[in-house]
Amino acid sequence: MLEVDQINVAYGDLQILFDVSINVRRRELVTLLGPNGAGKTTLIKTIMGLLRPKSGSIFFLGEKLDNLSTAEIVKLGIAIVPEGRGLFPLMTVKENLLMGAYASREARAKIRDSLDNVYNLFPRLKERENQLAGTLSGGEQQMLAIGRALMSRPKLLILDEPSLGLAPKLVVSMLATVEKIKRDSGLTILLVEQNVRAALQIADRGYVIENGRIVLEGTAEDMLKEEYVKKAYMGGLK
């Protein structure tokens, strides 16, 4: 579904990504792992069209994303839960969710259904419907961010470090919800994470990126067994 092909991305003269290639197939949950500053968010921004690769291409459902604007990319069916949630703090929960359906006519037409689905998935959001997003707790904000992304009825859902700033118990429940979403709706998911163990437990496949290069890829099971992964991340980070 998503094909990132040998892209090189730089901020001015500073190159961040070197010949990065990843692949996300339909109905897969692929996780992208790596330490801080490895280039994960840069990769996501490039996919979303906020950055342009110096070389290489990105394909989504066969369409080349290179020259499309962010709005057009979103319209193709990619939704993102940004790093740090990216909520609109002075808008209510409901308004944030409604904004999720902005991009496509189809999403706007089915907005009632989408809203009900999201409320079923996250009953807490329904309770806090008219509360300002900025006043929610961290866990609730994360739910809202995911719910908002789902409102666009996407074909590909990207989550950028959703566990950041969440208490461990919440991380577990949040990732369980992500897995539930995948199982129930067959959504294709790209999960960018620092929390290696939790991510690999729900993923089908994974990539590890370090210093702007893909250093490891494989099925989640294989990666869990991989010495390199065990040593570098299990003990060290989380």
Partner 1 sequence: MALNEKTLTDREKLTMDWLIILSLSLRALLFGGFLGLAACGLSLGFQLGFINAAHGDMAVLSAYMSWALLAMFGIDPFISLILVLPIMFLIGLVIQKFLLNRFLLKGEVDAALIVTFALGMTIRNLLQILFSADMRSLAQPYMIKGLHIGFLVIPFSYLIDFISALTMFIILHFFFTKTFAGRALRAVPQNWEAAMMLGIKPEISYLYAMGIMALTQAIFGVLMGLTYTFNPNSGPTYLLLPFGVVMLAGLGSLKKTFIGGLIMGEILILCGYFIGSQYQLITLYIITLIIILFKPEGLFTRRS
Applying CB under 8 A, which residues contact partner 1? 48, 50, 69-71, 74-75, 80, 82, 86-91, 95, 98-100, 102-104, 108, 148, 152
Task: Please report how close the Cβ of residue 190 comes to partner 1 at its closest, in angstroms.
Answer: 14
Q: Give the Cα separation of 38 and 128 in Å (integer).
A: 36
Q: Give the Cα separation of 166 and 153 in Å (integer).
A: 26
Q: Which is nearer to partner 1, 55 or 69 (CB)?
A: 69
Token duo for residue 195: 């929390």
Task: Please report how close the Cβ of residue 105 comes to partner 1 at its closest, in angstroms.
Answer: 11
Task: Please report how close the Cβ of residue 48 comes to partner 1 at its closest, in angstroms.
Answer: 6
Task: Please report how close the Cβ of residue 86 comes to partner 1 at its closest, in angstroms.
Answer: 3
Distance of CA 140 to the CA centre of its chain: 17
Task: Please report how close the Cβ of residue 207 comes to partner 1 at its closest, in angstroms.
Answer: 22
Q: How far lies 133's CA from each of 24, 50, 76, 80, in Å?
A: 32, 25, 27, 18
Q: Which is nearer to partner 1, 50 or 237 (CB)?
A: 50
- Contact status, residue 204 vs residue 27, Cβ threshold 8 Å: no
> β-strand 156-160 against 78-81: which pairing, if any?
parallel
Instruction: Compute how many other C-beta atoms are within 10 angstroms of the C-beta atom of residue 151.
Output: 24
- Return the residue matching tokens 């470090």: 161
